[in-house]
C-alpha cells in the first residue's frame, strides 16, 4: 500500500533543480509517477505526483522542506480520490485580441456552466501583420453529461466579437 502525494515546486530557475527534488524523492523510496513543469519569466514551477510508503511520508516532507535553504519552495499534499461523478472530457481552444481580465471572464463562464478546468495553457503573442497581442488558450475541461454545450459555446463567444471558440469532445 502506498500513499499518493501531489507536490508543487517553485524556485528561481537554475541547473540541477529537478535533480535535487528527484534525489530527495528517491532517497525516501518514492516513485515519481507524473509531472508538469515549466520555466516562465525566470522562475521554475512544477507539480508532480508521487507514490510513497505511508511510513516514509513525514521524512519526505521534512527533507523537501529542507530544500528551502537552496531557494526551492515545496508544498506537499496527500492526494485523495473524491467521490465525484465521472466527467466527460472537452477540449477548448480560444483565440482573440488580448485584454486585461480575459482569463477572469473565461473562467467565470466556465464556472457558471459547471465546467471543471483540468488543464489550462495560455499565451499572448503578436498578431500577424500588426503589433496587437493575441490571447490564445487551450484547455482540457471536465463536463457533466447534462452540460449544455451550445449554451457554453454561446456564453464564451459572447465575451467578445473577436473571440474564436472551438470546443471538441474527447471520445
Q: Cα-flanking dihedrals φ and ψ of residue 145, to 5°?
A: -55, -30
- Domain limits of the chain? 3-78, 88-169
What confidence tens digit (pLDDT) does each residue in 144-171 have?
989 999 999 999 989 888 788 888 887 6
CATH number listed for the domain at residues 3-78: 3.30.70.260
pLDDT over threshold 80, residue 22: yes
Lowest mean pLDDT among 25-29, 82-86, 158-162, 163-167: 82-86
pLDDT confidence of residue 79:
84
- Which class is 88-169 in CATH? alpha beta
| Residue 13 confidence (pLDDT) | 95
- Rounded Cα distance, 163 and 148, in Å: 20
How many Cβ atoms sit within 10 Å of the Cβ of residue 22?
A: 14
pTM, 2 dp: 0.81
Task: Judge whether residue 72 has pLDDT over 90.
Answer: yes
For the four alpha carbons of 139, 123, 10 and 30, in that order, the dihedral sign comes to positive
The confidence band for 82, taking pLDDT boundaries of 50, 70 and 90, is: low
Mind listing the pLDDT tens digit for each residue in 121-144? 999 999 888 889 999 999 999 999
Amino acid at each position: 500500500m502506498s500513499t499518493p502525494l501531489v507536490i508543487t515546486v517553485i524556485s528561481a530557475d537554475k541547473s540541477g533543480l529537478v535533480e535535487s527534488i528527484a534525489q530527495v524523492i528517491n532517497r525516501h523510496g518514492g516513485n515519481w509517477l507524473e509531472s508538469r513543469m515549466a520555466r516562465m519569466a525566470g522562475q521554475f514551477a512544477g507539480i508532480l505526483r508521487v507514490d510513497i510508503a505511508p511510513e516514509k511520508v513525514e521524512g519526505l516532507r521534512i527533507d523537501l522542506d529542507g530544500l528551502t535553504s537552496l531557494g526551492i519552495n515545496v508544498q506537499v499534499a496527500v492526494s485523495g480520490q473524491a467521490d465525484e461523478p465521472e466527467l466527460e472530457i472537452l477540449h477548448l481552444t480560444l483565440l482573440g485580441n488580448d485584454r486585461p481580465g480575459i482569463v477572469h471572464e473565461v473562467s467565470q463562464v466556465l464556472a457558471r456552466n459547471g465546467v471543471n478546468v483540468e488543464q489550462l495553457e495560455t499565451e499572448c503573442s503578436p498578431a500577424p501583420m500588426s503589433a496587437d497581442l493575441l490571447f490564445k488558450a487551450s484547455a482540457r475541461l471536465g463536463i457533466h453529461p447534462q452540460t449544455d454545450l451550445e449554451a457554453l459555446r454561446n456564453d464564451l463567444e459572447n465575451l467578445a466579437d473577436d473571440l474564436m471558440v472551438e470546443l471538441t469532445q474527447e471520445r
